A and B are shown apart, each in its own frame.
Chain A
Amino acid sequence: MSSLQADHLYKVFGRRPLDAVEALQRGADRAALRDKGSTAAVIDASFTVEAGEIFVIMGLSGSGKSTLLRMLNGLLEPTCGRVLFGGQDLTALAPQELRRVRSHQISMVFQHFALFPHRSVLENAAYGLQVQGVPRDERLRRATEALHLVGLEGWEKSWPDELSGGMQQRVGLARALATDAELLLMDESFSALDPLIRRDMQDQLLELQRSLHKTIVFITHDLNEAMRLGDRIAVMRDGRIVQLGSAEQILVEPANDYVASFVQDVDRSRVLTAASAMVPPHRPDAADCGCESVTPHTTLAELLAVTARVPHPVAVRDDADKLLGVVPRQRVLTLLGDHDGPQVPCDARPMEKEATGA
């Protein structure tokens, strides 16, 4: 398995792009460049996607996320910077070699599915293998397997326009999976689907990922989706990556006001887990009472119910039943309320003594 590395990527459209990059490196801003007739779509993007990771690039439209994604497989040539995949510099490859990499190692799933309307579902799923030059029988067999994987057995003979949106995108996914590429680029792949279907597809992707361990770069403008899917998330704004971290890091420690305002609407109870809420146990025997306990992956939403039932801070244990910490009730409320300051004492009626978070 190989990792994917973006190394100071720039993409400038319009006139004299290289001059624009130089200006950006000297500290010019985007608006100044636009006056000169060039548009900086991606500015100095660097990150590494580890093998087997789901890496989400999140941003509003116009933030440069789709441009960034298309530089990763060479559909767009970076104005400056390098893309390294498994140690190979994709930006230095000849067109023919780049096409080889695209057909064997990187596949892509599109926002509007991009299925070929003149090919059956099976032929669509087999497309990448056809490009690879796999003989007909084998590619149809492998395409059938890929369709089974996404739950579309029995639809091989159908045509794309006979399928619902969700099913079409499963064909798109099957087409991407059939080539056995290690790297999967997903461009707002679930954005065009109904909310319920979208959730199903997210679940299915996570399910598949547990067994396939692909390296996935997923683009979205939906923070909830980003939080649900992403092992790590890069938040983009105006062509720059403004924060890169895990979902919890971004929620708990937004890098700036922009990210903070962004994460405002996120359902924190479903993103934050016991791991981020727990504090060191205040008594060494905290775990011995035999009360209900949780794992570090338990979300705050579930944790809330447990804190209601357990009269003292809830113990957090790992798979080996080892005590990792405890979550006091007040700590849960603090996190949900997005309030991290110290507790304000009340003189009139002192509260019942209880452990508080540090």
Chain B
Amino acid sequence: MPRLRLGHWVDNAVSFLRDHLAWLFDFVTAVVQHMYDGVNAVLSAPQPLLLAGILAVLALWLRGLTAGVLAFVGFALIDSVQQWDPATQTLSLVLVATVITVVLAVPLGVWAGRNRTVSAVLRPVLDVMQTMPAFVYLIPGIFFFGLGVVPGVIATIIFAMAPGVRMTELGIRQVDGELVEAAEAFGTTSRDILLRVQLPLALPTIMAGINQVIMLALSMVVIAGMVGAGGLGASVFTAISQVNVGLGFEGGIAVVILAMYLDRMTGALGNQVSPLGRRALARADALRGARIRSYRPNTAVAMAGVLVLALVAAGLGVFGGSGGGPQVAAGKNVGRGKAVNLGYIPWDEGIASTYLWKEALEERGYTVNARTYDVGALYTGMASGAIDFETDSWLPTTHAQYWKQYGKDLTDLGSWYGPTSLEISVPSYVKDVKSLADLRGKASEFGGRIIGIEPGAGEMNLLRTKVLPAYGLDKEYQLTTGSTAGMLAQLERSYAKREPVAVVLWSPHWAYSKYQLTKLQDPQGAFGAGDRIHTLAAKEFPKKDPAVAGWLRNFHMDEKDLTGLEAAIQDAGQGNEQQGVRDWLKQHPGFVDRMAPVGSTKG
């Protein structure tokens, strides 16, 4: 078979689109971003419990007393596990994505429902949209739409579009042909047939489709979190990257509560808006009679309730919202509010150095946004200029692939820590294995596996091409590919059962402080010299902000400082990283002044 250069053509198409349709993508980005900002501003304005109350009244109106109480309890639970802000961000994202999806999907579905050709053309397109793995278009999405909420919304729309279109088409087609014929026989115009007969009768099916759209949108939240869309996705993504099962569950349960709320509410709304559904409800109510558990206020009462709570929320909003942030000492205000965007991979040294810089730059008067990203998204975002700098690039080996691809659009601001080392490690209770050579002949003991990490990581490439062949391990062991989180989970599991396990690791890594591990020696030096941790910035950043670039070039930390900082952040707990940094800085007076000397524009 000749090699079909499909991927190459796609690459070219993506570049072409980026170069020639930038105005369109910028327009879409602006629209979506503004929609999201607007919705999020409304949702995050009131006190959490007040908004929970408003949502509970809606549930009371649509579903009855039980649903109202459960909704309030659910949202209170989200607030009490400190996932409220991520949850409102996620809700905003889902609402924006759903509205856009429905606005596109319903007309398309109607069109497909009335025209066989359109239906036949749409079907494979929808198949592609629904089944193409999200990451395949998520990364190119960053080229087009930058990082943050917008590519998350776009990916969600692509993923959630199919059921909206299909259910609308199905609903239209399901309408009894004799009814349409009857309408025609009485001289109804095509438009009125749609509005008076087809749409009202298809409405329950269309609402079921919208319900599915919302559910799929919520299931994309975690993936959207990896490209900086924030919200519960970022919570879950951060938690699983650090194998923090408990935190992951807290984020996950918040997603579930949102999903159940939206599912039940859209289902009930479907009954309220469609004439047939209203009739069924009225009949059910008549049969059941009035009971407290199924009490539902009428629309006017419910709207009044929502309005009162919203007014209270608005009133409180006036008095809330006092400005926070660190006090900027006079004479040290270099940034004067200038915005700096930091990205980081949720690895310990990345979190530590990022929040250290966030604190330092805020003390210098900058406005700093720090967001967590997947590695691929981080590099793409930086190459496009959406992220100014990040402090956690392992070069020349681990991130070699990314540097090769994006290096031309980046500036290397030098390394601040090193050397690091790459290694294979085994638990210390595996007594007779001290060096890579010792692994030979013990494949059965280790299950024939070396537990690896992401297939794109430089260390994995190094293992496959150099290290394993050098020690003759490539025939004997299978190097599994997966994720860092998966590798750590396997290590945890084996460690608890005291089974032999060989994992791909690197130093510094918190695993060495949590478990007793033996770094296997590499007498042949197959791993080569260790990586150093570099600070990389967008190509234009040194020109844009020479002062910060200068400070970054001179940044250095030794192992004692880094592990101490990481420990302080661990102590402060998830969500309080910056407080951890402040605690640590209190014990290290003058550190910020050394990092960011005022008046200095060296470099």
Task: Check A128 for interface membership: any CB of B closer than 8 A.
Answer: yes
| Closest chain B CB from A168 CB (angstroms) | 13
Which residue of A is nearest B279, CB measured? A159
B184 touches A75 (CB 8 A): yes
Range class of the B interface residue count:
20 to 34
A108 touches B179 (CB 8 A): no
A-side binding surface: helix, strand, loop or mixed? mixed
Contact of B187 among A100, A112, A116, A185 (CB under 8 A): A100
How many residues of A are counted as interface, with CB atoms below 8 angstroms from the partner's CB atoms? 27
A114 touches B176 (CB 8 A): yes
Between-chain CB contacts (< 8 Å), 12 pairs = A99-B187, A102-B187, A103-B187, A103-B188, A110-B178, A110-B181, A110-B182, A116-B182, A118-B201, A118-B276, A131-B188, A159-B279
Task: Check B136 for interface membership: any CB of A closer than 8 A.
Answer: no
B192 touches A131 (CB 8 A): yes
Task: Check B300 for interface membership: any CB of A closer than 8 A.
Answer: no
| Closest chain A CB from B356 CB (angstroms) | 64
Bits for A172-185, please: 1 = Cβ < 8 Å to B, else 0.
Answer: 00010001000001
> What B residues does A290 contact at CB under 8 A?
none
- Within A115-161, the residues touching B (CB, 8 Å) are 116-119, 127-128, 131-132, 159
- Within A73-120, the residues touching B (CB, 8 Å) are 73, 75, 99-104, 106-108, 110-112, 114, 116-119
On whether A102 and B197 interact (CB within 8 A), knowing A75-B181, A110-B178, A118-B276, the answer reads no
Task: Check B508 for interface membership: any CB of A closer than 8 A.
Answer: no
Extra inter-chain contacts (16) besides given A112-B178, A117-B201, A132-B187, CB under 8 Å: A73-B185, A100-B187, A102-B184, A107-B186, A110-B182, A114-B179, A116-B201, A118-B201, A118-B274, A118-B276, A128-B187, A131-B187, A131-B188, A131-B192, A179-B186, A185-B185
A128 touches B197 (CB 8 A): no
A114 touches B182 (CB 8 A): yes
A131 touches B179 (CB 8 A): no
> What B residues does A100 contact at CB under 8 A?
187
> What B residues does A112 contact at CB under 8 A?
176, 178
- Which 9 pairs across A and B sit closest by C-beta, in order of nearness? A103-B187, A114-B182, A102-B187, A108-B185, A118-B275, A99-B187, A114-B178, A128-B186, A118-B200
Determine which residue in B181, B192, B274 has the highest number of CB atoms from chain A within 10 A of its CB, and name it. B181
Interface residues of A (CB under 8 A from B): 73, 75, 99-104, 106-108, 110-112, 114, 116-119, 127-128, 131-132, 159, 175, 179, 185
- Within B469-511, the residues touching A (CB, 8 Å) are none
Which residue of B is nearest A128, CB measured? B186
Contact of A99 among B176, B189, B274 (CB under 8 A): B189
Docked CA distance A110–B186 (Å): 12
Contact of B276 among A106, A117, A132 (CB under 8 A): A117
A108 touches B187 (CB 8 A): no
> What B residues does A106 contact at CB under 8 A?
185
> What A residues does B181 contact at CB under 8 A?
75, 110, 114
Docked CA distance A106–B185 (Å): 8
A116 touches B179 (CB 8 A): yes
